């Protein structure tokens, strides 16, 4: 029997904007997402999200905090996606996995890039738990 997988994702903030990456190939080709990926065995959730940011955009973050959880159910896959938020601390964001992403960019949360992929789409639409993450995020800044 197939089982759900755990994904970890990071909303990276810098100067009032968030980092998004444009996926290449496979499911979600040419769709935008937050940095993220599969949680590795014995890896802590937040550390996995930090690792994904480093692997995909080669930047460092601080002030990591829980954002929300989304359930992303597709025809042949099921993910429980845990989202965190963090502040950019150093490094110039650039694509390090050119086989997985076309480009990246910093966008306003009010005007994110389109189309959005999977869990990122659900989170931006408030289809996550808790759904008021944008309000809680504003209170911290």
Q: What pLDDT, on the 0 to 100 scale, is given for residue 136?
A: 79
| Torsion, Cα of 34, 38, 40, 42 (10° steps) | 80
Q: What pLDDT, on the 0 to 100 scale, is given for residue 138?
A: 73
Q: Would you say 84 and 11 are in contact if contact means Cβ atoms under 8 Å apart?
A: yes
How far is 93 from 74, CA to CA, in rounded Å? 30
Could you read off the pLDDT of 63-120 as tens digits, one per residue?
A: 999 999 999 988 888 999 999 999 999 999 999 999 999 999 999 999 999 999 999 9
DSSP 37: E
Single pTM value for the model: 0.94
Helices assigned H by DSSP within 1-141: 45-57, 118-124, 133-139
Q: What domains appear along the chain, each with residue ranges and CATH number?
A: 5-135 (3.90.79.10)
Q: What pLDDT, on the 0 to 100 scale, is given for residue 137?
A: 81
Q: What pLDDT, on the 0 to 100 scale, is given for residue 75?
A: 83
Considering the chain, what is the average pLDDT of its residues? 94
């Amino acid at each position: 029997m197939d089982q759900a997988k755990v994904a970890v994702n990071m909303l990276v903030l810098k100067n009032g904007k968030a980092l998004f990456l444009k996926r290449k190939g496979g499911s979600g080709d040419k769709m935008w997402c937050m940095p993220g990926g599969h949680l590795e065995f014995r890896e802590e959730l937040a550390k996995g999200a930090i690792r994904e940011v480093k692997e995909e955009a080669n930047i460092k973050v601080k002030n990591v905090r829980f954002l929300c959880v989304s359930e992303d159910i597709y025809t042949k896959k099921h993910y429980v996606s845990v989202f965190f938020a963090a502040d950019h601390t150093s490094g110039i964001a650039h694509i390090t996995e050119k086989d997985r992403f076309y480009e990246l960019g910093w966008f306003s949360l009010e005007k994110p890039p389109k189309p959005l992929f999977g869990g990122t789409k659900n989170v931006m639409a408030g289809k996550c738990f808790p759904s008021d993450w944008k309000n809680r995020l504003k209170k911290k800044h």
